[in-house]
Amino acid sequence: MNFGFTEEQELLRQEVRKFLDANAPMEAVRKLAETPEGFSRALWKQIGALGWLGLTIPEAHGGAGLGLVDLVVVLEETGRTLFPSPLLATTLAAAAIRDAGSEAQRARWLPGLAEGSAIGTIAVVEAGDRLDPGGVRLAGRREGGDWRITGEKLQVLDGATADLLVVAFRTGSGDGEIALGVVERGTPGLTAETTPSIDGTRRVARLRCEGVRVAGDALLGAPGAAGPALARLLDQAAAVVTAETIGAAEGALRLTVDYARERVQFGSPIGRFQGVKHPLAEMYVDVESFKSLLYYAAWCLDQGDPEAPRFVSMAKAYAGEAFARIGIDGVQLHGGVGYTWEYDIQLYLKRSKWARAAFGDPDHHYDRVARLRTEAR
Amino acid sequence: MDFQLTPEEETFRAEVRAFLDEMLPPGTHTMDPAFLAEWHRRVREKRWVGFSWPREVGGGGGSIMQQVILKEEMAKRKAPPLGTCFMGLAWVGPAIIQYGTEAQKQRFVPDILDGKVQWCTGYSEPGSGSDLASLQCRGVRDGEHYVVNGQKIWTSIAMWSKWIILLVRTGPPGVEHKHDGITCLLVEMDTPGITVRPIRNMSGGAMFAEVFFDDVRVPVGNRLGEEGQGWKVTVSALAHERSSIAEVEGLLRKLDELVELARRAVKNGRPALEDDGVRRRIARCETRIEAMRMNGLRFLTKQLKGEPLGAETSINKLHRAALEVEMGDLALEIQGSAGHLEKEVEGGRWQRFALNWPEVVIGGGTPNIQRNIIGERVLGLPKD
Ligand SMILES: Cc1cc2nc3c(=O)[nH]c(=O)nc-3n(C[C@H](O)[C@H](O)[C@H](O)COP(=O)(O)OP(=O)(O)OC[C@H]3O[C@@H](n4cnc5c(N)ncnc54)[C@H](O)[C@@H]3O)c2cc1C
């Protein structure tokens, strides 16, 4: 039994942290957040070269062949500094192709995603806001060996910059009749429009498909059989968001603790007052706790352990609630300056609004936990 | 990260399971005194009582990991308590093993392991609860004895105990420097001058008491550790056996019972279990419980690497406190407007549960004190 990171993983953490401290301090993050694309192509190339993008891609296809647990190490750090990049989106597209694609499809798309020459994403959420195969309405129509898809996707991470989009669509009206198709940017009928988020470090888009052609050989797995793959992808998505949330929540906590040690009122650092100290202690309790849940969830996903869905949901639900609280308490404990554009704590609060909703809010995941417990017997 | 057990650990788990299958077949009446005596004897025979204690003193010499497995399996099976020696096994025994003289070890440890002698803990006083080091009960040296005068309070199971592990102030009067000058004594409860008065708690029971000391003479040979070192003895003794994994199993069993209750109870005209609010609160409790388990495994990993556990264990004490209250409240709310009735539903077991949270929440340090510990020792905030 060993519930900890290996030496290699700790080294990876140090490297990532060093790189981000040097190349993406908070001033740089703020500047990037105001650019149209919302990230730096130059830094993207560098992190591709450093191997972050290919971490979980098989070695045969240009990656390092590691697991989600290793990726968690990177994501904790990118979360800590709110590093803006299409890392989550690309990772998820790669996971879909790695898990559900054929060897030929892997060889075709994974190397580009690993080196960073292609940005990837997944397009799942639609109006109706259901996060399960039943929520997929976007319709596919067979045309020879190909498919034509029509409909709209929402909340597509980095949808406007993605080169490869893994799109979930319907092949029939039955519950599980779902397909995952890879659509390349520039395909006729495909348009993506960025929908501004209060979290300026994130880019999400509304995706329109009007008779977009998905070639038969761009379907991941057999048509109409991608329900399980989609379910797994949604678990991975919830897990990577939560991994970043660990870092972001720790970042917010650290900022607030530092402030509480410096800010003097009534002749004393405010951190001496229990009205300040106790909420900070609670933040710590919460972060450590959803962190433990997420680590185990990631391990379960890597092992194909059947406990994965339950632990993903517990981790995501807990993180969603806790980070929301941390964002609010963090700003409030800063007092007036916490409300200012200039102080960084507000950036974390805004991240918490995105992270809470992304790939299932706490209610959604608690409902699933309850279902898993009450239906098991 | 690796959650697999080694083959040896799996073998041990199988051995524990087989033993429990034999000892606790379905329908076993675990509260029958004859059964409890037999149960203790058989577990003792396997050297699973005091399992992590050194073999020289009669313990099992087991590894931390084996101990965790043992506790986990016993909790899963709702195994009965061992003997009557909860405090003896939890911290009095470890304290005597760590600080006792050879004579003390021989005299006290076997009885604890055999479940023969009940111990209680005399730390808190009316004026010294959270601020334990401010205690005033005095021990004055008089030749080969300490003469003890003062009062203790909240002493759990004092009325059924044969011995008490007691903290007294022995430092010279006037030099009341808080942590110094405290001494730990092992005192027989039938020594002349000791009076025990049970205190009734809010659920109607009485499991703790006030204990008065009036010129009680305690042989110097019953001092545990050096004079003035009582604080050290206490702190390290309480740090023993801090595995919260078994607690989690108990909480999960309780949660299952809560789900069953919600299946049967009717709320707004349908089974309470169909109510979204109820379902989410159950899921929330489950999430906290599993978080405790996972935190516990992370602490365990530190222990296995030989690193000392610090203030982080307060995390799970806070979770446990919040859960006890939350689950008790939820159980009553599931019962709807009947929730306040004393014995109507399942003989009132949930009502008792909902009133007994102070045992966990207040006993052993309150939530505020845990938050201070985390704020100061983990986050580095200035002291209170
Ligand atoms: C069921 C039960 C069993 C017990 N068994 C034993 C036993 O066997 N042996 C034994 O010695 N003791 C025992 N205790 C005593 C227990 O350890 C104390 O009750 C506990 O430490 C709190 O002390 P107190 O009751 O004096 O409360 P106080 O210390 O007076 O605290 C009152 C309130 O003030 C808060 N408070 C105090 N100081 C601070 C601070 N610095 N900052 C913020 N808040 C603060 C506390 O959190 C609490 O909410 C038991 C208690 C209970 C409830």
Whether B381 and A285 lie within 8 Å, measured CB to CB: no
Count, residues in chain A = 377
Minimal-distance CA residue of chain A relative to B317: A285
- Count CA atoms closer than 13 A to A374's CA, side-chain side: 25
User: Among the options B9, B188, B210, B241, which is catalytic?
Assistant: B241
Assess whether pLDDT exceeds 60 at residue B236: yes
Q: How many Å lie between the alpha carbon of A4 and the closest alpha carbon of chain B?
A: 5
- Which amino acid, one-letter code, is at B6? T
- For residue A282, the chain B residue with the least C-alpha distance is B371
Confidence band for B246, pLDDT divided at 50, 70 and 90: confident
Task: Reply yes or no on whether the pLDDT at B175 is more than 80.
Answer: no
DSSP letter assigned to residue A361: -
Closest Cα in chain A, distance from residue B277 (Å)? 10
Q: Is the CB of B119 under 6 A from ligand 1?
A: no
Greater confidence (A234 vs B171) lies with A234
DSSP code at position A65: -
How many angstroms separate the CA atoms of B41 and B47, rounded? 10
What does pLDDT average to over chain B?
Answer: 92
Whether B241 is a known active-site residue: answer yes
CA–CA gap between residue B351 and residue B204 (Å, rounded):
11
How close B25 comes to chain A (CA, Å)?
22
Cβ of A257 within 8 Å of Cβ of B379? The answer is: yes
Q: Are A124 and A132 in contact (CB under 8 A)?
A: no
Does residue A200 contact residue A34 with C-beta atoms inside 8 Å? yes
In this prediction, residue B84 carries a pLDDT of 62
Residue B177: what pLDDT? 64
User: 10 Å Cβ neighbour count for A215?
Assistant: 14
> What are the residues whose beta carbons fall under 8 Å from the beta carbon of A218, sequence distance 6 or more?
A105, A181, A182, A183
SS3 B321: helix
Residue A281: C-alpha distances to residues A257, B1, B315 (Å): 10, 27, 9
Is the shortest distance between the CB of B163 and ligand 1 below 6 Å? no
Backbone angles phi, psi at B242, to 5 degrees: -95, 40
Of the two residues B32 and B190, the one the predictor is more confident about is: B190
pLDDT value, residue B311: 83
Q: Is the pTM of this model over 0.90?
A: yes
3-state SS class at B21 = helix
What is the structure's pLDDT at B243?
A: 57
Average pLDDT over residues A58-73: 98
B3 and A299: CB-CB below 8 Å? yes
Nearest to A277 among B283, B290, B375 (CB): B375
3-state secondary structure B330-374: HHHHHCHHHCCCCCCCHHHHHHHHHHCCHHHHCCCCCHHHHHHHH
Residues in a beta bridge with A139: A150, A170
Report the DSSP pairing between strands A268-269 and B138-142.
unpaired
DSSP classification of residue B172: P
A318 with B291: Cβ contact below 8 A: yes
| CB atoms inside a 10 Å sphere around CB A7 | 7
Choose among B283, B298, B288: nearest CA to A295.
B298
Average pLDDT over all residues of chain A:
97
CA distances from B315 to A201, A289, B136, B331 (A): 32, 8, 30, 24
Is the per-residue pLDDT at A287 higher than 80? yes
Mean pLDDT of B124-144: 95
pLDDT, average across residues A171-195: 95
List pLDDT tens digits, range B289-318.
999 999 999 999 988 888 888 888 899 999
Contact indicator for A105, A219 with CB cutoff of 8 Å: no
Measured CA to CA, the distance from residue B342 to residue A350 in angstroms comes to: 47
pLDDT at A45 over 70: yes
What was the pLDDT predicted at B273? 97
Closest-approach residue (CA) in chain A for B303: A2
- For residues A303-313, give the mean pLDDT: 97
Of ligand 1's atoms, which has the minimum distance to the CA of residue B359? 1
**Lowest model confidence (mean pLDDT) among A311-315, B78-82, B150-154:** B78-82
Handedness of CA B158, B159, B163, B169 (dihedral sign): positive
> CB of A240 within 8 A of CB of A75?
yes
B151 lines ligand 1 (CB under 6 A): no
Lowest-confidence region among B45-59, B71-85, B203-217: B71-85
A5 at B interface, C-beta within 8 A: yes
pLDDT single digits (tens) A131-159: 988 899 999 999 999 999 999 999 999 99
